[in-house]
Amino acid sequence: KFERFWIKLSFGLIAFFIASVIYGFVSMDLKVVGDYQTIDPQNLGETEFAKTGVREVTKNGQTEYEVYVKTMQFAFQPGTASPIVVPANTRVTFYITSPDVLHGFDLAGTNINTMAIPGQVAKLTTIFPEPREYGIVCNEYCGPAHHIMEGKVKVV
């Protein structure tokens, strides 16, 4: 009786691996422009990071979005407690920094992937082509709860 369970489990695992390989192939290559700027990690309260989150801005007469994100042990702010919500087909620039230790900011299934470094602001600009949800994962070891550090971006 138990054997059946294990057979089912192993078929399930094989299906899962195949699915994840296919998912890897269809993962999105977004157009991303990025760079780093320096910042004083002790004084984020006196910078744009005093108020994290999504902002609508107008640049050259166009509506764009800026997203200020702090990565912290062990949450993305915003992203973890509440999702980052941005529209599709609109230019979105992420500004990401860390007040504590090195973290990662990786939108699973895309090439949006950067380190979040204390003292540096990672800047990434992209346009999401369609409404979709993306998981955010921290891919740099940042402490005992690193593995549960995750969040969500909701493209609407």
CB-based burial, 73-112: b 16+ in 10 Å, e otherwise: bbbbbbbbeebbebbeeebbbbbbbbbebebbbbbbebeb
Out of 54, 146, 150, 154, name the contact with ligand CUA by CB under 6 A.
146
Provide the pairing of β-strand 150-155 with 84-86.
parallel
Residue type, 54: V
**How many chain residues touch ligand CUA (CB under 6 A)?**
9
The piece of 10-18, 49-57, 86-94, 142-150 that touches ligand CUA (CB under 6 A) is: 142-150
The piece of 5-13, 83-91, 123-131, 138-146 that touches ligand CUA (CB under 6 A) is: 138-146
On the CB side of 15, how many CA atoms lie within 13 Å of its CA? Answer: 6
69 lies in the binding site for ligand CUA (CB under 6 A): no
Compute the least distance from the CB of residue 76 to ligand CUA, in Å. 8
Q: Do 84 and 154 form a contact (C-beta atoms < 8 A)?
A: yes
Out of 138, 151, 152, 155, name the contact with ligand CUA by CB under 6 A.
138
User: Which token pair is 76?
Assistant: 């993305």
Residue 61 CB coordination number (10 Å): 5
107 lies in the binding site for ligand CUA (CB under 6 A): no
Out of 142, 151, 152, 155, name the contact with ligand CUA by CB under 6 A.
142
Compute the least distance from the CB of residue 108 to ligand CUA, in Å. 14
Nearer to ligand CUA, 96 or 138 (CB): 138
Nearer to ligand CUA, 73 or 111 (CB): 73
DSSP 145: T
Residue ranges in 56-148 assigned as alpha helix (H): none
Binding residues for ligand CUA, per CB under 6 A?
71, 74, 103, 138, 140-142, 146, 149
